[in-house]
Amino acid sequence: MTDINFNNISVDILTVPLFIEKGVEISVLRLDKIHPLISGNKWFKLRYYLEEAKQQNKKTIVTFGGAWSNHILATAATCKMNGFNSIGIIRGENPANLSPTLLQSQAEGMQLFFITREQYSQKIIPAELNTAEDYFINEGGYGVNGAEGAATILDHCHKQSYDKIGCACGTGTMVAGLINAAQSMQEVIGISVLKNNTALQEKVQSLLQNEDRNFQFIHDYHFGGYAKYKSELIDFMNMFYQQTGIPSDFVYTGKLFYGFYQLVKNNSFQPGCRILLIHSGGLSGNSSLEKGMLIF
Ligand SMILES: *Cc1c(COP(=O)(O)O)cnc(C)c1O
């Protein structure tokens, strides 16, 4: 098991002709490089939950997710690294063939329970679980501890240097942490990767510590919804890799980078604007794509 490697984190300034032409400086905070399985933002979102579980002498962490959940895999690997047992409650019936994400989670020692979509939406917990001894983490690490951990992402760059900070949003936990950690004159821009994600605003709002923060969510770049894509997105990800050497994933960061290209194209930013984009990882999710679609 490799450790989390913070020394690998870099801030890459993109020398993309479009950005240079528009006078916009875009840098990418490379959290994708900290660990092959616990990728990107997931370790940050989990860190304070695990500290709390340790303080409460819990031995087992229970969390929730779908068959392709980066959060499930990251929880499995982080628990193994920190000496916790882990249990994943997975949405949907036990399939004949487990997804690569679930196979890897099992290999990291996670015990999997499958529940129906109805049970999942009602948060019905399998009766076999000893709920008093277990520590529960919400799907996607959503919650106050998750946002507090995500706020520490910005300790890995010189955050004062940027006018805007951009990231992809699923549950909104990461963006809430970034908003809490940002300075009042900075704007945080969240690209939603879900379709019609009207709950995002409220979910983020309930995790915020300050009233005076400057942020917005953009709902135009989900490509049909969560984990949906079109060939235009895949072509963009390949082009982005050729231009920058940075791999992205089709569920989150591909949509983030695509969205910012469009925003720059549409003159949404003043010349001289300095933007930091969070590469929140997720690259292992690309294994659900057909081989050969991506050049990296
Ligand atoms: C989970 C994940 C996100 C979304 O984070 P939230 O805190 O749920 O909004 C973004 N990017 C990647 C790569 C992820 O795996």
Both tokens of 53, joined, read 């579980």
Distance 140 CA to ligand 1 centre (A): 8
What pLDDT, on a 0 to 100 scale, did the predictor assign at position 16? 97
Segments of the chain with pLDDT less than 70: 1-2
CA geometry: angle at 75 spanning 130 and 96, to 5°? 80
For the beta sheet containing 110-115, the strands, ordered from the edge strand earlier in sequence to the opposite edge, are 110-115, 85-91, 60-65, 134-137
- 29 CB near ligand 1 (under 6 Å): no
Q: For a pocket test of ligand 1, which of 35, 174, 256 has the largest count of ligand atoms closer than 8 A to its C-beta?
A: 174
For residue 208, what are the contacts with CB-CB under 8 A and spacing of at least 6? 176, 179, 180
Strands 60-65 and 85-91: parallel
What pLDDT, on a 0 to 100 scale, did the predictor assign at position 39? 82
Distance 21 CA to ligand 1 centre (A): 30
Helices (H) and strands (E) in the chain, counts: 10, 10
Q: Is the pTM of this model over 0.85?
A: yes
Distance 265 CA to ligand 1 centre (A): 25
Spatial CA neighbour of 243 closest among 195, 296, 188, 284: 296
What pLDDT, on a 0 to 100 scale, did the predictor assign at position 123? 86
> Collapsing DSSP states into helix, strand and coil, what is residue 272?
coil
Distance 173 CA to ligand 1 centre (A): 8
What pLDDT, on a 0 to 100 scale, did the predictor assign at position 2? 63
Spatial CA neighbour of 279 closest among 234, 235, 248, 250: 248
Q: For a pocket test of ligand 1, which of 29, 35, 70 has the largest count of ligand atoms closer than 8 A to its C-beta?
A: 70
- 170 CB near ligand 1 (under 6 Å): yes
Q: Are the CB atoms for 218 and 192 separated by under 8 Å?
A: yes
Residue 272 region, left (φ>0) first, then alpha (ψ -120 to 50), else beta?
A: left
From residue 114, how far is each of 89, 90, 109, 190, 290 by CA, in Å? 6, 5, 16, 31, 26
**Residue pointed to by tokens 């942490």:** 177
Summarised one tens digit per residue, pLDDT across range 89-103 is 999 988 899 999 999
- 282 CB near ligand 1 (under 6 Å): yes
Q: What is the end-to-end Cα distance of the chain in Å, rounded?
A: 24
Go through the chain and tell me how many residues it has: 296
- 253 CB near ligand 1 (under 6 Å): yes
Question: What are the chain's domains?
Answer: 6-36+144-288 (3.40.50.1100), 42-141 (3.40.50.1100)
Burial of 9 (0-12, 13-18, 19+ CB in 10 A): middle
Strands 25-30 and 11-13: antiparallel
What pLDDT, on a 0 to 100 scale, did the predictor assign at position 289? 94
Q: Are the CB atoms for 166 and 260 separated by under 8 Å?
A: yes
Both tokens of 256, joined, read 């983030």
Name beta bridge partners: 137. Answer: 63
From residue 89, how far is each of 15, 63, 253, 284 by CA, in Å? 43, 6, 25, 20
- 256 CB near ligand 1 (under 6 Å): no
The minimum-distance atom of ligand 1 relative to the CA of 171 is 8
Summarised one tens digit per residue, pLDDT across range 48-83 is 999 999 999 999 999 999 999 999 999 999 999 999
For residue 90, what are the contacts with CB-CB under 8 A and spacing of at least 6? 64, 65, 66, 67, 72, 102, 112, 113, 114, 115
Q: For a pocket test of ligand 1, which of 29, 34, 41 has the largest count of ligand atoms closer than 8 A to its C-beta?
A: 41
- 65 CB near ligand 1 (under 6 Å): no
Summarised one tens digit per residue, pLDDT across range 20-52 is 999 999 999 999 999 988 989 999 999 999 999
